[in-house]
């Protein structure tokens, strides 16, 4: 499994409706991609958002990364939406949990 963590902080005064529409479209595409596992989004008190996206493999993540609409969403114009945007990714190791 490959896990990617996105940390973003939105600029003030952005068109939130347009951003929400874009986010909904990206979610629709990502969840339809072969190898998609899960997506979770959290927002901190200071407004920073943390998104955790899981894919079954590096190839599945690469297919999402290289999807034509996703590439457009990553264009420099989207940088005007965020004060900061960072991501980290890697293969998840052994895990354990309790339900």
What DSSP line would sit under 12-57, residue for residue? TT--HHHHHHHHHHHHHHHHHSTTEEEEEEEE-TTSEEEEEEEESS
| Phi, psi for residue 52 in degrees, rounded to 5 | -115, 120
pLDDT of residue 29: 94
How many structural domains does the chain have? 1
Whether residue 30 is contained in a domain is answered as yes
Whether residue 95 is contained in a domain is answered as no
CA distances from 45 to 9, 28, 39, 50, 72 (A): 11, 27, 20, 12, 30
Higher pLDDT, 66 or 94: 66
Residue pLDDT, tens place only, 4-60: 888 888 888 888 888 888 889 989 999 999 999 999 999 999 988 899 999 999 999
pLDDT of residue 7: 86
C-beta neighbour count of 78 within 10 angstroms? 13
pLDDT of residue 79: 59
Whether residue 91 is contained in a domain is answered as no
Confidence of residue 97 (pLDDT cuts 50, 70, 90): low
Whether residue 18 is contained in a domain is answered as yes
Q: How far apart are CA 71 and CA 66, in angstroms?
A: 6
CATH number of the domain where residue 17 is located: 3.30.70.100
Residue pLDDT, tens place only, 77-96: 555 666 666 666 666 666 55
Whether residue 93 is contained in a domain is answered as no
Whether residue 35 is contained in a domain is answered as yes
What is the span of the domain harbouring residue 59? 2-86
């Amino acid at each position: 499994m490959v896990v990617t963590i996105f940390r973003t902080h939105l600029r003030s005064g952005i068109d939130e409706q347009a951003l929400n529409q874009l986010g909904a479209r990206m979610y629709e595409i990502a969840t339809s991609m072969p190898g998609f596992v899960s997506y979770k989004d959290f927002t901190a008190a200071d407004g920073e958002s943390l998104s955790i996206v899981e894919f079954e493999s590096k190839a599945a993540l690469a297919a999402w990364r290289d999807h034509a609409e996703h590439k457009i969403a990553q264009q420099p114009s989207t940088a005007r939406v965020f004060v900061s945007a960072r991501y980290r990714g890697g293969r998840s190791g052994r895990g354990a949990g309790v339900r």
